[in-house]
Amino acid sequence: MPEAVETQTMLCTSPVLRHFGNVSMRYGIQNKSIHSIKGTRIINGNLAHLGPKVFSYIEESVALCQPDQVHICDGSATESATLLKLMQANGTIKLLPKYENCWLANTNPSDVARVESRTFICTERQHDVVPRTLRGKSSLGNWISPKDYNNAIADRFPGCMTGRTMYVIPYSMGPIGSPLSKIGIELTDSAYVVYSMGIMTRVGSKVLELLMRENMEFVKCLHSVGTPSNGIHEMPSWPCDPARTIILHKPENNEIVSYGSGYGGNSLLGKKCFALRIGSTIAQKEGWLAEHMLILGITDRSGHKRYIAAAFPSACGKTNLAMMMPSLPGYKIECVGDDIAWMKFDETGQLRAINPENGFFGVAPGTSNETNPNAMATIFKNTIFTNVAATSDGGVYWEGMGKPPKDVQVTDWLGQPWDKVESNKPAAHPNSRFCSPASQCPTIDPAWESSAGVPISAILLGGRRPEGVPLVYQANDWTHGVFLGASMRSEATAAAEHSGKMIMHDPFAMRPFFGYNFGHYLSHWLSMGRKTTPEKLPKIFHVNWFRKNKQGKFLWPGFGDNCRVLDWVLRRCDNEPCYIESPIGLLPKKNSLNLEGLKETVDLDELFNIPKEFWLKETEAIDKYFTEQVGEDLPEEIHFELKHLRERLQLL
Ligand code: OXD
Ligand code: MN
């Protein structure tokens, strides 16, 4: 197209255009085509459709990363097919012929999880990220100075995309155009990231149109899988640079920069990096909440539907709860989201939530027809599996999936033959994943893409607590609820670098995801409680499906029976007096939990017992945590909640 070439030449060489930065002039040529940027060829898409801010961002990043070519993603089926072919040719993915359009990726074994120790937030003042404590340094908030931030980029990014394609992914977190949604542009050199972002977010030309039309702000996300300093990729099918991996966030500029890892939690920048870390900082400024919460819709026997949001640390069964098949007859549970909620009070004072994601990036091990039949019905089409085991009949396998079919050989995630009896290591990596479109879930909620969001009646907080913590209790009020969130603890998970059986503090299940000072986050939550009337505030509950008896057996069956707990929660939302007071909060009154048709007998006394010794120790642990980790930034209200809890426990 001669005209296009002309336009491009003019843009790249005209000193006038360069001098003015050329917003309006570039706008003026928006219906023409631009086929190169900084001398780099655009192999898909048209830069003239991007708007000036996106244009400059790409221009700067091309100059820094020096890719061989640029591909602007349109989110089309043709584009997906091209990416799949490319990844197959590079050995990054293999077809799983047993299913429909399913693929298996195996990562470099050194690139299998989020790298929390290399994840940083950059601000001028450290205190905006890290709470100030008297003793030692708080480990809440990993701060990096602007100087070190710049140096980290300068050490890694110049020329990092040479020989590669830079993909430009325009994406929306949340339904495109919803007032609750936000837009991101991810620049990456990984086709795996592009394909996965196409599942996890809403990608494509519609987003660009919106950006251009409304001249909207967007979150800048730069990602490269990197190259080790010796230039050698151990595993060419999964390039990465684990020794220099770094994930940086700069809230002031709405900017994310990630280097060295292709693993989803570090590379699909819309998810934890944007929707939670940067999201929480935007939410604080704008007066809403960006939380690590699932959202589900529950319809009771009378047809009354409500929505609940729930925060659990990784590996507590969030996806299972979000997709639960209720065991109580007449109840229906529908899924809005399984990981992240963005919530805002509307003009009537009702808290409303959207799921900013478009897919599920779920942990595969433990997912089965028994634990989560709806996930099983979701994930065997249009899915990319990562680090699960493969079967000789073209399928996948993982621990807790049930038995592999007879006469089928299993190859573990490292590519070695695997045998259930003889191999003494897992077939699938404990943090192996499926990445599937949310729309495929048989119980996806009809309102899951509602642009106004769904009204939230209750907020659940929880953890994996083998001891001392009852099945459910209600916070006395919003402030007490915020205290419960601040005091959340859980057995450690496989999603992070370290795993083990320690009871870790994980306030609001956000410990790895705070974008700013946790003490200020608590103040923000407290201020949210003043945004509406007490009657309109969602009620807050703490749940624990994982309490065990002395013999180490779970006291509660969990899964579909958790709906019995949700039923009690809803009745409390209706102000039914089905509770008794206790030192830790409101417990179900005797016989108020609906146990109709429960298949096993449950020792309710043990399940709801509040051992004084245990709770006194718990308050000590919370106190120590608050002192050592939050220090002077702990809001006074939270301090008082702890004091009052201790006083109430003395009465036991
Ligand atoms: C996740 C996590 O991957 O919480 O969702 O770690
Ligand atoms: Mn999560």
Give the Cα separation of 521 and 507 in Å (integer).
Answer: 10
Query: 264 CA to middle of ligand 1, Å?
Result: 10
Q: Are strands 472-474 and 539-543 parallel, antiparallel or unpaired?
A: antiparallel
Contacts of 479 (CB under 8 A, 6+ apart): 526, 529, 637, 638, 641
Tokens 């009852």 sit on residue: 470
Calculate the average pLDDT of the chain: 93
| Alpha-carbon span 251 to 352, nearest angstrom | 24
Residues taking part in catalysis: 316
Provide the pLDDT for residue 32: 66
Q: Is the pLDDT of residue 96 over 70?
A: yes
288-326 pLDDT, tens per residue? Answer: 999 999 999 999 999 999 999 999 998 799 999 999 999
Query: Which pLDDT belongs to residue 574?
Result: 96
The reported pLDDT for the residue numbered 5 is 30
3-state secondary structure of 51: coil
Instruction: Encode pLDDT of 245-291 as tens digits.
Output: 999 999 999 999 999 999 999 999 999 999 999 999 999 999 999 99
**Hey, which residues does 611 pair with through a beta bridge?**
none
- Count of CB atoms situated within 10 Å of the CB of 153: 17
**Between 20 and 406, whose confidence is greater?**
406
Of 310, 309, 436, give the one whose Cα is nearest residue 376.
436
What single letter denotes the amino acid at residue 524? H
164, 171, 209, 172: which is closest to 188 by C-alpha? Answer: 164
Q: Whose CA is nearest to atom 2 of ligand 1?
A: 314
Atom of ligand 1 nearest to the CA of 431: 3
Q: Which ligand is nearest to the CA of 114?
A: 1
Task: Kindly state the average pLDDT of the residues 21-42.
Answer: 63
The pLDDT of residue 493: 54
Closest residue (by CA) to atom 1 of ligand 1? Answer: 314
- Measured between alpha carbons, how far is residue 539 from residues 277, 486, 563, 572 in Å? 25, 16, 17, 8
Cβ-contact 372, 398 below 8 angstroms:
no
**Are 68 and 62 in contact, with CB atoms under 8 Å apart?**
no
State the pLDDT at residue 11. 34
In this structure, what are the phi and psi dihedrals at residue 396, rounded to the nearest 5 degrees?
-125, 165
Ligand 1 shell residues, CB under 6 Å: 265, 314, 339, 495
Closest CA to 584 of 463, 477, 475, 467: 475
CA distance 376 to 368: 6
